[in-house]
Amino acid sequence: MSDLIEPSAPRPSTTELAFEVFQRVIAIFCLIAGIRYWALLIGILDGGVWRFDLLPVHWKIAAASLAVLWPVAGIGLWMVVSWGPVVWLVAAAIEVAMHGAFPELYGSRWLLIAAHGLAALVYIAFRVALYFSRRVEPEEE
């Protein structure tokens, strides 16, 4: 037997693990949002009132886009890949713009806007915490 010890991969920090769990929780919500949009568009929810062929043009564009973006964002966040948060940000920004800037067209959903804002703030807090935890300060001699 050899006395050599195999180097092991560095263990992720608690912050990195918590960030991964946070991304996966958000991924679940993204997938649920995507499924909800698809269910509305094909007429499963709300008695078919929100079926794609019955929607006004502005809702057709928004709902079809979000029905694609939310599941893609969920998959990217679940896999913890770099494009996941980007797609999530785009989908959330579209919903915030819909319900915040155009409430006369899409309705006012301030709780949804607040939830997107809170999730974005937590994401930013994690990124800042990870940035500072990864900085290596020069050793003093």
Q: Tens of pLDDT along the chain (141 residues)?
A: 556 677 777 788 899 999 999 999 999 999 999 999 999 999 898 888 889 999 999 999 999 999 999 999 999 999 999 999 999 999 999 999 999 999 999 999 999 999 999 999 999 999 999 999 888 544 544
Using CA atoms, how far apart are residues 77 and 83, in angstroms rounded to an integer?
Answer: 8
Selected from 1.20.1270, 3.90.550, 1.10.150, 1.10.260, the CATH number assigned to the domain covering 14-133 reads 1.20.1270
- CA count, 13 A, side-chain hemisphere, 44: 7
Q: Please tell me whether the overall predicted TM-score, pTM, comes out greater than 0.95 for this model.
A: no
- Provide the residue ranges of all domains of the chain, joining segments of one domain with +: 14-133
Secondary structure class of 130 (helix, strand, coil): helix
pLDDT tens for residues 3-17? 667 777 778 889 999
Q: What are the pLDDT digits (tens) for 120-131? A: 999 999 999 999
